[in-house]
Amino acid sequence: MNFQFLTLADNAAANQGGGGGMIMMIVIYALIFGALYFFMIRPQKKKQKEEKLMRENLQVGDEVITIGGIHGRVISLKEDTMVIESQVDRSKMTVARWALQTNLTVHDQPAQK
């Protein structure tokens, strides 16, 4: 009985031409990749672009929060680092720019490219 089922399935595949299954598989993979792109990759790239823009538009005097949770005011800026002054005891510390999590100061948005 099992042999007879395989023979019927093989006959059905031979009558259809056999290429339809391959095309459907490609379409399904394309749909899965498209869904992954729109739900995972695209939002992550958009978030990274916004973070980069925030770090580039940082100005002296801005109130910021670092990834480590340090609240402070920007005292000076360099290429890859910034010096912030803590709010409570007014101590100064040098922090990498990539460690900036949030800029609490609101600025006018520059024209985006």
Rounded distance between C-alpha atoms, residue 84 and residue 62, angstroms: 9
Tell whether 109 is covered by a domain: no
CATH of the domain at 89: 2.30.30
Query: 70, 93 in Cβ contact below 8 A?
Result: yes
Domain count across the chain = 2
Examine the pLDDT at 14 and tell me if it is beyond 70: no
- The whole-number pLDDT of residue 83 equals 95
- The whole-number pLDDT of residue 7 equals 53
Tell whether 111 is covered by a domain: no
Task: State which of 1-5, 7-11, 85-89, 91-95 shows the largest mean pLDDT.
Answer: 91-95
Rounded distance between C-alpha atoms, residue 31 and residue 51, angstroms: 30
Tell whether 99 is covered by a domain: yes
* Tens digits of residue pLDDT in 56-66: 889 999 999 99
Rounded distance between C-alpha atoms, residue 95 and residue 19, angstroms: 59
Burial 84-111, CB ≥16 within 10 A → b, else e = beeeeeeeeeebeeeebeebeeeeeeee
* Tens digits of residue pLDDT in 34-45: 999 989 999 999
